[in-house]
Structure 1
Amino acid sequence: MINRVVIFVIDSVGVGALPDAGDFGDVGANTLGNIVKKEGKINLSNLRRLGLGNIDDISGIEAIDYPLGAFGKSLEVSHGKDTTTGHWEIAGLHLTKPFNTYPNGFPKEVMEEFEKRIGKKTLGNKPASGTVIIEELGEEHMKTGYPIVYTSADSVFQIAAHEEIISLEELYEICKVAREIMMGDQAVARVIARPFIGEVGKFTRTSNRRDFSLNPSEETILDIAKNYGLDVIAVGKIEDIFNGQGITEAVHTKDNMAGIDETINYLQKNNKGIIFTNLVDFDSKYGHRRDAKGYKDALEEMDARIPELLENLREDDIIIITADHGNDPTFKGTDHTREYIPIIIYGDKVNSNVNLGTRKSFADIAATISDILGIPSTGKGESFKNQIIG
């Protein structure tokens, strides 16, 4: 019997463009494959042992003869390529309508209402890279005290502020105001606090980011597990992505290594249910910044700690290693890419060398977890429990 499942999301590590990538301008995107193509051979020996290189049509990673885990990849049903859409589908939701995006900035009436309610003017109001816009407008922000508002190809309302100009507490309150405004017809998936520090020309974003999400539109596997008395532990930005819904305990982390540390910490405790971890650095520090070498190095750093994760699994645990979308650092622009996600499953009770092929929905993960834990499903996705256990 399996009593605990770890969902371990390597944020944005896509493994090839989806069939509908053309609808998103992403034909040719392949986060993992293109990193290897650009930067040369990558050492992901521990993920390879589990089956990463045996995933159908994966590029850049060599297969081995007898992987220790089960492996596959998945299509995405929901119409999007953002964090919220991906995680919600992993948790058993299908979004038939994409979230609003604002390629020309936010409407005048939205910004007027926002400025009125926070008592300040704003800067920016356009799509931009977060690091670029604080270099562009950071000095003016420090002189005026006006927060910097920007968006991206994702459904986000982002607010950047220097921690010495607008305190974290005030920034979070400002974000809560934006969250109240960006609802209904104007709803965005996330309002994001983007604090930074430093001097002009030397600004750096801090780990005090906070995401203010919509509540999931329907019940997720997290809600169901919680309602059945199980622990649902969120590590990293998971609590923000689900706006706390379905979560019983949460810890925010400053970087990937802290995310792994906290996952191990919870593995060593007496809990039962779901541990849901997100390692965001791949996406935020390397994908969006189009830093292929940094992305490669971070992947190798994470892979080196996989044995430590596995050593802390109990006999009645399994771990599902996956992603939520792509963010190819060799691709055009600075935005996410519409890609397959990898699925790798390991545990004492998991059958080795099982090829799950191409799954039809990320929600197959949620359906499988429901099946394994003996709780109702969300009705989305198809369980692969019988292929990996028994």
Structure 2
Amino acid sequence: MQLNRKVIIIVLDSVGVGELPDAGHYGDSGSNTLGNCSRAVGGLKMPNLEQMGLGRLTEIQGVPPADNPTACYGKMTELSPGKDTTTGHWEIAGIVLDRPFPVFPGGFPPEIIEPFKQNIGRDILGNKAASGTAIIDELGAIHMQTGSPIIYTSADSVFQIAAHEEVVPLEELYRMCRTARELLTGKYAVGRVIARPFIGSPGSFKRTANRHDYSLIPPRPTVLNLLLDNGLTVAAVGKIKDIFAGQGISSSAHTNSNMDGVDKTLALMREDFSGVIFTNLVDFDQLYGHRNDPRGYAGALEEFDRRVPEIMRALRPADVLILTADHGCDPTTASTDHSREYVPLLVAGPGIKKGVDLGIRAGFSDVAASVARLFGLSFDTGEEFVTAVAQ
């Protein structure tokens, strides 16, 4: 077992690189988060990711294919049905689902809503599929008058509860989420219950960084559990701990922005331990993809690109960096929901070959198999790519 190594997995949340063959079944034909976003803004400036090989994965205006990529590059197909955060992250960690999480485009049925209201001692507002910012604008004033939380969902398998922090204290909102999580089982077992706190006044509401996700417990052990069982560390950054319901996680750092996530990842890279740093950078998805804001999305991509040299310099001799995503969320389409897309795979480090074409991987779980292999372990899902990329 290699004990003096960190594997840093950074999930660029929703940075897809083109529609999957079955995208039409999800209403996502033509989606290409990175490519379409680049064209919408007249080109992206990402020289560092360009040099790593990102431009070889899809046509990105302003990011041409590098002649001599400094990283190994490829893209991955999602095997699991669906296009949500939990499904994507679970597959990265080695769980391939055989059925999608349930969705409720018409709202949640009385058998869920009625006991939920009884348990929280309040009425509710909403109970429909909606954009998070739009439904807060629509119902936020009534919520402030009545104290009734706003319940909504989306095309994803989520039960979301929005409440003003001055009307419903955060701890009470989190208790509401735990109540919902206990009710949403069996055929109602959505992937995530999400607390969506906001502040401000009518006409100027703003969601805060105090979001909290309550995921289902993974149905079986992931590669994260395997690492812990073998004495290695799994440090989570961002919403990773929430996505895995704390399973397989040694420690967790909350973040309030992409750049805060990068800062906390860099701090962990300087610490003395062996294992995985698993980071989610959510701003791409939460702030820009779901709000159909290609200009904001482009700015966030370029901001991350400027931090790539710092991350590369922080890698120690045996460390490995894996950049990927969990799904798409094309900000240029009419939909405000996630999109069914390939995700990028960039692998780099002092001991990693340069310019290896990893092709189209058959599943996100190839990351899990590769992480296990990097620590001298084996995992029973996915095909490792370590043999191809190690010096």
* Same fold flag (TM > 0.5): yes
Over the aligned positions, Cα root-mean-square deviation in angstroms equals 0.9
Determine if the alignment matches structure 1 residue 50 to structure 2 residue 60: no
Determine if the alignment matches structure 1 residue 387 to structure 2 residue 385: no
Determine if the alignment matches structure 1 residue 36 to structure 2 residue 75: no
Match for residue 98 of structure 1 among 97, 100, 103: 100
Secondary structure of the structure 1 residue equivalent to 2:9: strand
Secondary structure of the structure 2 residue equivalent to 1:331: coil
AA aligned opposite 1:233: A
Match for residue 374 of structure 2 among 366, 372, 375: 372
User: How big is each residue's C-alpha offset from its partner over 1:325-355, in whole Å with a ceiling of 9 and x where there is no partner?
Assistant: 0000001221000000000011000000100
Contact 1:16 1:58 (C-alpha < 8 Å) held by counterparts? no
Contact 2:6 2:269 (C-alpha < 8 Å) held by counterparts? no
Q: Which residue of 2 aligns with 1:320?
A: 322
Match for residue 353 of structure 1 among 347, 352, 355: 355
Pairs within 5 Å for 1:210-289: 210-289=212-291
Contact 1:93 1:218 (C-alpha < 8 Å) held by counterparts? yes
Contact 2:130 2:153 (C-alpha < 8 Å) held by counterparts? yes
AA aligned opposite 2:133: T
Moved runs in structure 1, 4+ residues, more than 6 A? none
Q: Where does the alignment leave 5 or more consecutive residues of structure 1 unmatched?
A: none
Within 2, Cα distance between the matches of 1:375 and 1:233? 18
The alignment of Structure 1 onto Structure 2 pairs a total of residues equal to 388
AA aligned opposite 1:128: A
| Cα drift, residue 53 of structure 1 | 1.3
Match for residue 185 of structure 1 among 161, 184, 187: 187
User: How big is each residue's C-alpha offset from its partner over 1:204-245, in whole Å with a ceiling of 9 and x where there is no partner?
Assistant: 000000000001111101011011110000000000000100
Pairs within 5 Å for 1:115-126: 115-126=117-128
Determine if the alignment matches structure 1 residue 129 to structure 2 residue 135: no
Scaled by the length of structure 1, the TM-score of the pair is: 0.98
Q: Which residue of 1 aligns with 2:202?
A: 200
AA aligned opposite 2:325: A
Contact 2:86 2:191 (C-alpha < 8 Å) held by counterparts? yes
Q: Which residue of 1 aligns with 2:18?
A: 16
Q: Which residue of 1 aligns with 2:311?
A: 309
Q: Which residue of 2 aligns with 1:141?
A: 143
Q: Which residue of 2 aligns with 1:172?
A: 174
Determine if the alignment matches structure 1 residue 157 to structure 2 residue 159: yes
Within 2, Cα distance between the matches of 1:351 and 1:332? 41
Q: Where does the alignment leave 5 or more consecutive residues of structure 2 unmatched?
A: none
User: How big is each residue's C-alpha offset from its partner over 1:234-268, in whole Å with a ceiling of 9 and x where there is no partner?
Assistant: 00000000010000010110010000000000001
AA aligned opposite 1:277: T
Contact 2:234 2:249 (C-alpha < 8 Å) held by counterparts? yes
Match for residue 294 of structure 1 among 293, 296, 302: 296
Secondary structure of the structure 2 residue equivalent to 1:105: coil
Relative distance call for 1:73 and 1:58 in structure 2 (3 A) is farther
